[in-house]
Amino acid sequence: MSYCINPACPNPKNPPTANQCQACGATLLLRDRYRMFRALGRGGFGATFLARDEALPGNPPCVIKQLRPSTEAPHILDMARDLFQREAKILGKIGNHPQLPRLLDYFEIDQEFYLVQEYINGATLQQEVKRGGAFTEAGVKQFLSEILPMIQYVHNSQVIHRDLKPANIIRREQDKKLVLIDFGAVKDKVNPVKASSTEQTALTAYAIGTPGYAPPEQMAMRPVYASDIYALGVTCIYLLSARSPKDLDYDPTTGELLWREKIEVSEHFASVLQKMLEISVRHRYQSIDAILRDLDLEPYMDSLAQNMAFQMPPSGKGDPLSGPISSASSPLTSGGNSTGSPSSRMAAAIRARRDRVTSRSGAVLGNGRKPPYLGSPNRMPPSHPLPLSSTPQRKPSTPKLTADDIKLTYVKGQRDFSMQMFAPLDLQRSNLSGVNFNQSKFVKANFQGADLSSANFGKADLPQVVFRNSRLSRAYFNFANLENADLRGADLSYACLSNANLRGANLCGADLTGATITEEQLAMARTNWSTVYPNGRRGIL
Span 126-142, average pLDDT: 90
Catalytic residue numbers, as ranges? 163
CB atoms inside a 10 Å sphere around CB 272: 21
Task: Answer whether 40's CB lies under 8 Å from 168's CB.
Answer: no
pLDDT above 70 as % of the chain? 73
Average pLDDT over residues 247-272: 90
Of 225-239, 302-316, 372-386, 404-418, the range with the highest mean pLDDT is 225-239
Q: 230, 207, 351, 210: which is closest to 286 by C-alpha? A: 230
Domain ranges of the chain: 2-118, 123-189+196-317+344-396, 399-541
State pLDDT tens for residues 84-122.
777 788 778 787 788 888 888 888 887 788 889 889 999
First to last CA, the chain: 39
CA dist., res. 260 & res. 241, Å (int)? 10
The more confident residue out of 402 and 203 is 402
Comparison of pLDDT for 41 and 16, the residue scoring more: 16
Backbone phi and psi for residue 26, each to the nearest 5 degrees, phi listed first: -70, 155
Mean pLDDT lowest for which of 330-344, 410-424, 437-451, 460-474?
330-344
Look at residue 17 in the predicted model and tell me its pLDDT.
Answer: 86
Per-residue pLDDT reduced to its tens digit, 369-426: 333 333 333 333 333 333 333 333 333 445 678 898 898 888 877 788 888 888 889 9
Q: What is the mean pLDDT of the chain?
A: 77
User: Average pLDDT in the 478-483 region?
Assistant: 94
Strand order in the sheet with 34-43: 29-30, 34-43, 46-53, 61-67, 112-118, 103-109
**Cross-strand partners of 496:** 476, 516
pLDDT tens figures, 261-298: 899 999 999 999 999 999 999 999 999 989 988 886 54
The full length of the chain comes to: 541
Superfamily the domain 123-189+196-317+344-396 falls into: Transferase(Phosphotransferase) domain 1 (1.10.510.10)
Q: Please, which residues have CB within 8 angstroms of residue 147's CB and are 6 or more apart in sequence? A: 169, 178, 180, 232
pLDDT at 538: 81
CATH number for the region 2-118 comes to 3.30.200.20
* Residue type at position 382: P
308 or 501, which is more confident? 501
Q: In the prediction, which pLDDT does 69 show?
A: 64
Same fold, 123-189+196-317+344-396 and 399-541: no
Q: Centre a 10 Å sphere on the Cβ of residue 150 and count the other Cβ atoms it contains.
A: 23
Higher pLDDT, 362 or 486: 486
- pLDDT for the residue numbered 399: 60
Question: Are 388 and 356 contacting, i.e. CB atoms less than 8 angstroms apart?
Answer: yes
What pTM was estimated for this model as a whole? Answer: 0.59
Q: What integer is the mean pLDDT of 216-245?
A: 92
Residue 238: pLDDT above 90? yes
Q: Which fold has domain 399-541?
A: Pectate Lyase C-like (2.160.20)
- Percent of the chain exceeding pLDDT 90 equals 37
- Rounded CA separation 511/489 (Å): 7
**Position 164 pLDDT exceeds 50:** yes
Count Cβ neighbours within 10 Å for each residue of 410-434 and write b for 16 or more, e otherwise: beeebbbbbbbbbeebebeebebbb
Q: How far apart are CA 273 and CA 265, in angstroms?
A: 10
Hey, which of 83-92, 328-337, 386-395, 438-447 has the most confident mean pLDDT?
A: 438-447
Spatial distance between the Cα atoms of 237 and 320, rounded to a whole number of angstroms: 33
Q: What is the DSSP string of 100-139?
A: SPPEEEEEEETTEEEEEEE---EEEHHHHHHHH-PPPHHH
